[in-house]
Amino acid sequence: MPYPKIYIDALLVNWGDRLFQEPLRHARALRLSHAGIRDEAARVRARIDRTLRRTPEVMVKITNKAASAQGMGAVRRHLRYISRNGRIELEDQNGDRIAGVYALRDLTKTWQLGGWGIPETSARREVFNILLSMPPGTDRQAVRNAARDFAAQEFGDGRAYVFAAHDDEAHPHVHLSVQVRAPDGHRLNPRHKELQRWRERFAEQLREHGVEANATPRRARGVTQRYPKPAVVHMVARGETPRHWVQLPTDAQRDAGWVAHGGVFSAWREMAYAMAKSRAREDRAMAVEMAYFVGAMPVQRDRPVAGRTQDTGRERLDRVAPATDDRTDGVAPDVER
């Protein structure tokens, strides 16, 4: 018998929160009105749809973490780098453009002496350097515009910042340098959850500018491998082999990864079960695609955990949804993926 729509929507909010929020948190469904559950479920459906279609994922990361804590000397060097020593135009929080060596010099003096000021050397972080990036082929102007709107939304409290768009590499990306202290003295101190929020907001701004973008945690897509650091990429491009780069995971690391992904499989499974019981054909079709998506996840296991058997993609698919013979109306056909 089909489930009531409000029940399916509540389950989506519940398990969507657990799947897409990092770190995992309790669901909000019990605290929302019926209208709130409906609206939130629509957002979860849209996010699931983007994930199933493998919409390009945004990258937002803090760079030069060590250098950022060394005061104005390090800040000056980074501003020279992202502006290519004045050859690439910078844009500040007021929309003013900074181009040329002399304008760059004026900017660094303003940052050093204005407001709270930045000492030449410091034991505390004075500026956060943030990289906003998208895959090759993404519209570069849209990435720049989205970065501008993201910075205004996230740091538009009077905090000083500048950004530069780099068009000389395959990946369209923007370097954003943000002063740690706001005019009221409040210090920026992003944690892991803030970084995920930044990814989500940057993806939202990209979609506002007509670019398909998503911001899901890696684990929700079954991805366990991190991207190599920029320094490693440049070393490989020069033909060098970084020391300690290629390291096979230990058995304990593999087992820990599978324990962590157990919650991911549970979330996908529960959402697929719920949508398979929907009266809406679109929901039932999405349940099928969710099952195939999990079955094709790149997570692999090289050895069984003690007391458990080897886990295959087929078994993961079967756990997400029971097999049927109808791909469109059932939950998952009984085939090997």
> Are 50 and 90 found together in one domain?
no
Could you read off the pLDDT of 64-77 as tens digits, one per residue?
765 555 799 999 99
80 in a domain, yes or no? yes
Angle subtended at Cα 209 by Cα 204 and Cα 212, rounded to the nearest 5 degrees? 60
> Are 197 and 73 found together in one domain?
yes
Q: What's the distance, Cα to Cα, between the start and end of the chain in Å?
A: 29
Q: Count of CB atoms within 10 A of residue 35's CB?
A: 8
Query: Could you tell me the CA-to-CA distances from 309 to 5, 305, 316 in Å, in that order?
Result: 37, 7, 12
Asked whether residue 294 carries a pLDDT value surpassing 80, the answer given is yes
Could you read off the pLDDT of 299-329 as tens digits, one per residue?
644 334 444 444 444 454 455 454 433 333 3
What does DSSP assign to residue 311? P
67 in a domain, yes or no? yes
Last residue of a domain, one of 208, 234, 266: 208
The DSSP code sequence of 97-135 is EE-SHHHHHHHHHHHHHSTT---SS-SS--EEEEEEE--
- The torsion defined by the Cα of 43, 49, 51 and 55, in degrees rounded to 10, comes to -100
d(CA 295, CA 277): 20
Asked whether residue 286 carries a pLDDT value surpassing 80, the answer given is yes
Last residue of a domain, one of 144, 176, 208: 208
Could you read off the pLDDT of 202-231 as tens digits, one per residue?
999 999 999 999 999 888 888 765 555 555
> Is residue 292 a contact partner of residue 285, using CB atoms and an 8 Å limit?
no
Angle subtended at Cα 172 by Cα 140 and Cα 161, rounded to the nearest 5 degrees? 90
> Are 89 and 159 found together in one domain?
yes
> Are 35 and 103 found together in one domain?
no
> Are 35 and 108 found together in one domain?
no
Location of structure tokens 């007021």: 94
Mean pLDDT of 249-265: 61
Helix (H, G, I), strand (E, B) or coil at 3: coil
50 in a domain, yes or no? yes
CATH number at residue 138: 3.30.930.30
Residue 142's domain comprises 59-208
244 in a domain, yes or no? no
Could you read off the pLDDT of 83-133 as tens digits, one per residue?
999 999 999 999 999 999 999 999 999 999 998 899 998 888 899 999 999
Query: Could you tell me the CA-to-CA distances from 124 to 61, 114, 115, 183, 188 in Å, in that order?
Result: 19, 18, 17, 17, 12
224 in a domain, yes or no? no
> Are 171 and 265 found together in one domain?
no
Closest CA to 162 of 124, 108, 115, 198: 108
> Are 115 and 196 found together in one domain?
yes
> Are 203 and 97 found together in one domain?
yes
Instruction: Tell me the HSE value of 229 on the side-chain side, using a 13 A CA sphere.
Output: 11
147 in a domain, yes or no? yes
In terms of DSSP bridges, do strands 173-179 and 323-324 run parallel, antiparallel, or are they unpaired?
unpaired
Instruction: Tell me the HSE value of 19 on the side-chain side, using a 13 A CA sphere.
Output: 27
299 in a domain, yes or no? yes
Split into its structural domains, the chain has a count of 2
Tokens of 305: 């955990």
> Are 28 and 105 found together in one domain?
no
> Is residue 45 a contact partner of residue 285, using CB atoms and an 8 Å limit?
no
268 in a domain, yes or no? yes
Angle subtended at Cα 230 by Cα 258 and Cα 165, rounded to the nearest 5 degrees? 120
Helix (H, G, I), strand (E, B) or coil at 11: helix
Mean pLDDT of 45-68: 87
Tokens of 308: 């458990």
Q: What percent of the chain has pLDDT over 90?
A: 54
pLDDT at 69: 54
Closest CA to 10 of 72, 278, 30, 19: 30
> Are 21 and 155 found together in one domain?
no
Tokens of 194: 């803030």
> Are 95 and 171 found together in one domain?
yes
Closest CA to 18 of 55, 52, 44, 54: 44
In terms of DSSP bridges, do strands 332-333 and 323-324 run parallel, antiparallel, or are they unpaired?
parallel
d(CA 174, CA 145): 10
Q: Count of CB atoms within 10 A of residue 288's CB?
A: 22
- Mean of the per-residue pLDDT values for the chain? 81
- The whole-angstrom distance between residue 266's C-alpha and the CA centroid of its chain comes to 21
Helix (H, G, I), strand (E, B) or coil at 181: strand
> Are 204 and 63 found together in one domain?
yes
Last residue of a domain, one of 156, 179, 208: 208
